[in-house]
Amino acid sequence: MSTALADLLPEEAILLDSEAADWQEAIRRAGELLEQTGVADERYTAAMIDTVVEHGPYIVLSPGFALAHARPDESVSRTGLAWVRLAEPVSFGHPENDPVRLVVALAAVDDADHTSAMAELAGVLADAHQQAQLEAARTPEQLRAVLMGETLSDAADSADQADPAAQQAATDQHLILTVCGNGLGTSLFLKNTLETVLGTWGWDRHVTVEATDTISARGRAKECQAILTSGEIAKTLGDVGVPVRVVTNFTSTTELDAALRELYEI
């Protein structure tokens, strides 16, 4: 990352896996970071929300990504950015690019001060390898390091192995069920581990994972691409018309990574 983007996005302006009930709250989280870092005040946060109310969700620029902003005015003290990755995506009402998990807020003192940083940001978000790296970042320091060109080794390995075939396979929204006897215990462990792997691959916007019980799994099998479960539950389920993959270690990202590769033939 060159000086332009580095200067506009300090670690204090990065919030990872934040909760937001709706798109307004998601923008508000980003606006609060701008306020806390002295970039803009609460009037600018309100203006970013008003922009979407007045003009619609045009700020959702690509699948899962929204660039929140408003016109430069006296509420902006200096040009800056805020980065909010949501724990759960929210809908902005965009017909193609919803739901949104990443909200980047931009405040600028004029129409030209931020152009270099925006070009760099666009390049980062268009790169599948760097997207996987950003998803794997667990702290603001790690995320900023990725933006500066450093590599998180685990994420790099997964991104290299999954691209390009993995990116092609994940173009549609898929559902995978993790199953145990009552849908409340071991299936949740398996769900969490699978979601970790999907996040590392950059697939978490394309694949939904739901934990459920055996009875519900039989009824919903036709809705999903695959079922992941234990050997015992697999025997109980029998033939449900979709692939059933047996997992031995429900906390092993390595085993889940291999199961996904087998499922998607990558």
**Domain identity same for 174 and 120:** no
SS3 112: coil
Domains contained in the chain, number? 2
Query: Percent of the chain scored above 70 by pLDDT?
Result: 86
Highest mean pLDDT among 63-67, 97-101, 119-123, 186-190: 97-101
Confidence of residue 155 (pLDDT cuts 50, 70, 90): very low
What CATH number is given to the structural domain containing 80? 3.40.930.10
* For residues 21-28, average pLDDT: 98
Do 29 and 18 contact (CB within 8 A), yes or no?
A: yes
Burial 135-170 (b: 16+ CB within 10 A, else e): bbbeebebbbbbbeeeebeebbebbeebbeebbebb
Tokens 């760099």 map to which residue? 120
Q: Is 193 found in the same domain as 105?
A: no
Instruction: Look at residue 34 in the predicted model and tell me its pLDDT.
Output: 98
pLDDT for residue 154:
47
Q: Is the peptide bond before 10 cis (omega within 30 degrees of 0)?
A: no
79: pLDDT strictly greater than 60: yes
Q: How confident is the model at residue 219 (pLDDT cuts 50, 70, 90)?
A: very high
Contacts of 115 (CB under 8 A, 6+ apart): none
83 and 37 Cβ atoms separated by less than 8 Å: no
- 70 or 34, greater pLDDT: 34
Do 184 and 115 share a structural domain? Answer: no
- Residue 156 has what pLDDT? 44
- Same domain for 93 and 207, yes or no, is no
Q: Are residues 110 and 199 in the same domain?
A: no
Claim to verify: residue 107 and residue 192 sit in the same structural domain: no
Does residue 24 share a domain with residue 79?
Answer: yes
Q: Mean pLDDT throughout 70-87?
A: 94
Residue 137, domain member (yes or no):
no
In this prediction, residues 146-166 reach a mean pLDDT of 58
Q: For the residues 253-257, what does the mean pLDDT come to?
A: 90
What distances in angstroms separate CA 75 from CA 20, 43, 78, 155, 199, one per listed residue? Answer: 24, 6, 9, 39, 36
Considering the domain architecture, whether residues 87 and 189 belong to the same structural domain is answered as: no
Last residue of some domain: 126, 150, 173? 126
Position 91 scores a pLDDT of 97
Which residues on neighbouring strands pair with residue 175, listed in sequence order?
Answer: 208
The answer to whether 179 touches 217, Cβ cutoff 8 Å, is yes
What pLDDT shows up at residue 169?
47
Catalytic residue among 69, 94, 114, 174: 69
Can 69 be counted among the known catalytic residues? yes
The dihedral formed by the CA atoms of 227, 231, 232 and 234, expressed in degrees to the nearest 10: 30
Among 73, 24, 81, 21, CA closest to 53: 24
Same domain, 169 and 255: yes
Name residues whose C-beta falls within 8 Å of residue 18's C-beta, 6 or more positions apart in sequence.
26, 29, 84, 85, 86, 87
Which amino acid type is present at position 243? Answer: P
**Do 9 and 89 reside in the same domain of the chain?**
yes
Q: Decide if 84 contacts 45 (C-beta within 8 A).
A: no
Give the pLDDT confidence score for residue 203 in this predicted structure. 87
Q: Over 50: is that where the pLDDT of 170 sits?
A: no
For residue 260, give the nearest of 192, 203, 179, 185 by alpha carbon.
Answer: 203
Q: Which CATH number covers residue 196?
A: 3.40.50.2300
The pLDDT of residue 1 is 43
Q: What pLDDT sits at residue 160? A: 46
Q: Does 189 share its domain with 99?
A: no
Q: Check whether residue 173 and residue 249 sit in a common domain.
A: yes
The confidence score (pLDDT) of residue 3 equals 56
Range of the domain at 181: 165-264
What gap in Å lies between CA 134 and CA 149, rounded to an integer?
A: 11
201 assigned to some structural domain: yes
Q: How confident is the model at residue 30 (pLDDT cuts 50, 70, 90)?
A: very high
Q: Where does the pLDDT of residue 28 fall: very low under 50, low under 70, confident under 90, or very high at 90 and above? A: very high
Please indicate, yes or no, if residue 144 is contained in any of the structural domains.
Answer: no
Q: Is 58 helix (H, G, I), strand (E, B) or coil?
A: coil
Q: To the nearest whole number, what is the mean pLDDT of the chain? A: 85
| 3-class secondary-structure state, position 213 | strand
Q: pLDDT value at position 157?
A: 47
112-131 pLDDT tens trace: 766 677 767 777 776 778 88
